[in-house]
Each structure stands twice: as structure tokens, then as C-alpha cells.
């Protein structure tokens, strides 16, 4: 009898657990409607680029019967005649996969910079299997955002949400092409907001535990209302796959970059001109602070907005335009998002006392290295084979150019290359007409008559030089 009672108790306990589990499962969010509605606006992106093949290593290749599976296997790794893709040192096409999403009915899309960086051809495939060769409107390495344009109309853009309304613990979902598996839906929660990564100090990332893998890059992150609140960009992984740490670029940051790329072809960011670090517990004690907070100024760059405003080494910035600075990583995104010429109000701790400092934000100068450079493509035409950007004030002063001019960032094979233009040249005039700005440059190039030869005045560090371009 006791045994029967014990079995009955176990059954009742298991039934209770099962019921509780069902009740709990019934409260989980349903992403089916979101996937059905938003899925068609998420695209698959593949790229082609030319890479040099590896030299053959057939000397160390094991001897196997010709035509056997092992023969094919070893040829793939050791090269030699008939190796897949060839390993003869020639140029082979390379492919990469990513995701993107539609932001306008007339064919503008967003994706990641690293998805399309260095691509010779970008292919966009829609949910209905239509494929387009996309134009790279502009790409920004600092924010990892790129804007593409396809020749399509009456597309369905996704709804844009407000990342500021996100709460930690809120459910979110991603749609993308992990490992090439198109329109895969994964879900999770917001783990943290405003994360700063070592290589991306200007982006306050949204951290989630949504499963993001290679191929998801550039795809949208949704809230439960079906609105895009982020662009999936990075994962933290020791294996190359998902480990529960995914990072998305807030959509308001991405859309601001997109607007600038579409309007100007490049991105302008605010600049303060300081090197900062976190305030540790010991540093806080040494500065007479009750608790660690703020951004400690370790260096003030010469001729920077910070120097002009009187900021000093040892100052601790505790607020920027009334926004509290808890960690040093909180400051760069605020400064970077500011308009050039904005008069920012800083509260700093100096020698134990709070002090108010007003700083006029200037344009962030271009740094050396590809990772910090803005890469763009001509929006309206590329008939000369040039990629150009506006000159910053620092570049203008260095080149001793009083006004006008556009900086050559890239020279593709074409008319400009044949005429002798090269990266780093500043185009001052075309056909004896001043290139006052990027917009004027595009207009002048569009108006050039085909099959004519026009003079182009170029400023180089050695001095000005005229070159003759034959217009294709």
C-alpha cells in the first residue's frame, strides 16, 4: 500500500511539473507573425573578389591512384594539376556571404561594411529568389555600416524602431543567412546596452544572446513589435561560432551613417581630441572620489578642441551635455554623434572640484590604416574610375589649399588611371572649373562630353600639376 501511495505521489508530482511547464511554455513569445511579415524584406548578400591563389605544393603530395577520392582530397590541399580552384599562383575568385535588409521602396539596403569590403561584385538575392547586382553607395569602416542600391521598385522596407526604448531582458529576434542558410530566424534577449568593444569605440553596441553566426552579419535585429532596432555585426567566440555573445549596431546609429553616405558619400564625426581611460578604484581613491566613475584624460592632443577649451591631463569628465559618464567608453559615442560646431557642456573633476567646460566640437580627422578609413563609391557615376571624398580642414591645411578640392581615395582602372591620377591627389578643378565640394565634383563629371580631352588640376605634396583626361 505504501508503495502504491509513493507511485501516486510521483505521478502527481510529474503531472504538476508537466502542467507548470505547459503554462510556462504558453507564456513564451511567438515569433511566427514577425518572421512572416519581415522575412521578405531581409536579403542574402554574396560577393565576389579576386584573390591570389596559393602556389602549388605538389612536391609534398602523397602518391595516390589517379581519379580516386583520396587523389581529389590531396590535390585540394597540396595543389597541382586539376586542383579545385587551382593553386598555380594566378588570380581566383573568392566569395563571401552575409545578410542585409531593405530600408526604402526604391531599392536602398543596409548591411555591414565587412560583408562587402573589397568586393568586385555584390549580388543581392531577395526572398522571392530575384537576384540583382548591387551598387555600393557608400561604406563606413568605423561603424561597420554599408549602403547598397539595387535597380528595383515597390519593395517593402522594414519598420525602423527606437533602440532607446529597449530594456535589458527584452525579447528580440534576428533574421539572416547563417552559413548560407537563408531566412533563418533566431531569438533571445537583450543582455546589455551601450557596450563598447576595443575596435569600435564610436558604436554603443546592443549585446544579445541571439544565435548569430557567420552569414548573419548585416541582418536586422527586431523587437517584438517587428521593428528593426539593430544591425547584427559581431560575435564573441573562441570557436568561430555562436557562444551566447552577439553584438548589434543600434539602428539609429546605422541610419544616421546611412543618411550621410547617401547625401555626401562619406561620414563626418565629432572630435574632442583626448586620450582617455577608465577610473579604477585605486585611481578614484587617489583623486579623492567616493566611487569610480567618469573618463580620465590621459593626454590632450595638440591643437585639438579639448586643448582650445582648456581641458588638462588629469581631468575626469563626469558628464557630457548632462549625460552622465560612468565608464570612459560612454564618452566617444556621444562625441562622435555630435554635429561639427556643436558647443558641448562638459562637467569635469579637477583637483577634487567640479568645473564646467565648454568645448566646440570639430570634425574627427582621418586616421592612418584601412580600418579607420571611410571607403565610398561615386553615387551618380564612376565614368572616370575615381573614388573621392571631401577634404577635412586638417587635410586642407596640410596641402595648403585655401578652398575647394576633393581627395582621391581610390583609382580604379579607367580614364583617370590612364591620365596618371593616383591615391592622395586633390582634384582642384576639372575642365577649368573649380571643384568646390563633392556635389560640384559629381556635377562636373556628369556634364563632361564623351570622347573629349579635358584638363584636370591636381594638387600634390610636391605642388600643383595639370593632367589630361580623355572622357570615355
- Catalytic residue list: 114, 144, 217
Q: What span, in angstroms and rounded, lies between the C-alpha atoms of 323 and 333? A: 12
Report the 10 Å Cβ neighbour count for 29. 12
317 close to 353: Cβ distance less than 8 angstroms: no
In this structure, the chain runs to a length of: 472
Indicate the SS3 state at residue 303. coil
Residue showing cell 558647443: 343
Q: What span, in angstroms and rounded, lies between the C-alpha atoms of 395 and 367? A: 11
Residue burial 43-65, b: 16+ Cβ < 10 Å; e: rest? bbbbbebeeebbebeeeebeeee
Q: Which of 68, 139, 192 is nearest to 389 (CA)?
A: 139
Residue 125 in grid coordinates: 538575392
Going by their DSSP bridges, the two strands 121-125 and 42-52 should be labelled as antiparallel
Q: What span, in angstroms and rounded, lies between the C-alpha atoms of 93 and 96? A: 10
Residue showing cell 569635469: 348
Residue 402 in grid coordinates: 585655401
Amino acid at each position: 500500500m505504501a508503495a502504491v501511495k509513493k507511485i501516486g505521489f510521483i505521478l502527481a508530482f510529474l503531472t504538476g511539473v508537466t502542467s507548470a511547464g505547459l503554462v510556462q511554455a504558453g507564456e513564451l513569445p511567438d515569433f511566427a507573425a514577425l518572421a512572416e511579415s519581415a522575412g521578405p524584406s531581409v536579403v542574402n548578400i554574396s560577393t565576389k573578389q579576386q584573390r591570389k591563389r596559393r602556389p602549388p605544393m605538389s612536391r609534398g603530395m602523397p602518391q595516390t591512384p589517379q581519379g580516386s577520392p583520396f587523389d581529389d582530397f590531396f590535390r585540394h590541399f597540396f595543389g597541382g594539376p586539376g586542383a579545385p580552384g587551382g593553386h598555380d599562383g594566378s588570380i581566383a575568385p573568392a566569395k563571401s556571404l552575409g545578410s542585409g535588409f531593405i530600408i526604402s521602396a526604391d531599392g536602398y539596403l543596409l548591411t555591414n561594411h565587412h560583408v562587402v569590403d573589397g568586393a568586385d561584385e555584390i549580388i543581392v538575392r531577395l526572398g522571392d529568389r530575384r537576384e540583382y547586382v548591387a551598387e555600393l553607395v557608400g561604406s563606413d569602416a568605423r561603424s561597420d555600416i554599408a549602403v547598397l542600391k539595387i535597380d528595383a521598385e515597390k519593395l517593402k522596407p522594414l519598420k525602423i524602431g527606437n533602440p532607446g526604448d529597449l530594456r535589458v531582458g527584452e525579447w528580440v529576434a534576428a533574421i539572416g543567412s547563417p552559413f548560407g542558410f537563408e531566412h533563418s530566424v533566431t531569438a533571445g534577449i537583450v543582455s546589455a546596452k551601450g557596450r563598447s568593444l576595443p575596435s569600435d569605440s564610436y558604436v554603443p553596441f546592443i549585446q544579445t544572446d541571439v544565435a548569430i553566426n557567420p552569414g548573419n552579419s548585416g541582418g536586422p535585429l527586431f523587437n517584438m513589435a517587428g521593428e528593426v532596432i539593430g544591425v547584427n555585426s559581431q560575435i564573441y567566440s573562441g570557436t568561430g561560432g555562436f557562444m551566447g555573445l552577439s553584438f548589434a549596431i543600434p539602428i539609429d546609429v546605422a541610419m544616421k551613417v546611412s543618411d550621410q553616405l547617401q547625401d555626401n558619400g562619406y561620414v563626418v564625426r565629432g572630435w574632442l581630441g583626448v586620450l582617455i581611460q577608465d577610473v579604477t578604484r585605486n585611481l578614484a581613491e587617489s583623486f579623492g572620489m567616493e566611487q569610480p566613475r567618469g573618463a580620465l584624460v590621459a593626454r590632450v592632443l595638440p591643437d585639438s578642441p579639448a586643448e582650445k577649451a582648456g581641458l588638462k591631463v588629469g581631468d575626469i569628465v563626469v558628464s557630457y551635455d548632462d549625460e552622465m559618464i560612468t565608464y570612459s567608453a560612454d564618452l566617444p559615442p556621444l562625441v562622435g554623434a555630435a554635429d561639427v560646431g556643436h558647443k558641448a557642456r562638459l562637467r569635469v573633476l579637477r583637483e577634487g572640484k567640479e568645473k564646467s567646460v565648454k568645448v566646440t566640437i570639430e570634425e574627427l580627422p582621418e586616421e592612418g590604416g584601412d580600418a579607420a578609413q571611410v571607403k565610398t563609391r561615386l553615387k551618380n557615376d564612376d565614368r572616370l574610375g575615381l573614388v573621392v571624398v571631401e577634404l577635412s580642414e586638417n587635410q586642407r591645411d596640410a596641402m595648403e589649399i585655401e578652398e575647394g578640392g576633393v581627395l582621391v581615395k581610390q583609382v580604379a582602372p579607367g580614364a583617370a588611371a590612364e591620365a596618371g591620377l593616383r591615391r592622395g591627389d586633390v582634384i582642384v578643378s576639372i575642365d577649368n572649373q573649380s571643384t568646390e565640394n563633392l556635389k560640384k565634383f559629381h556635377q562636373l563629371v556628369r556634364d563632361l562630353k564623351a570622347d573629349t580631352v579635358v584638363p584636370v588640376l591636381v594638387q600634390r605634396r610636391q605642388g600643383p600639376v595639370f593632367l589630361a583626361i580623355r572622357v570615355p
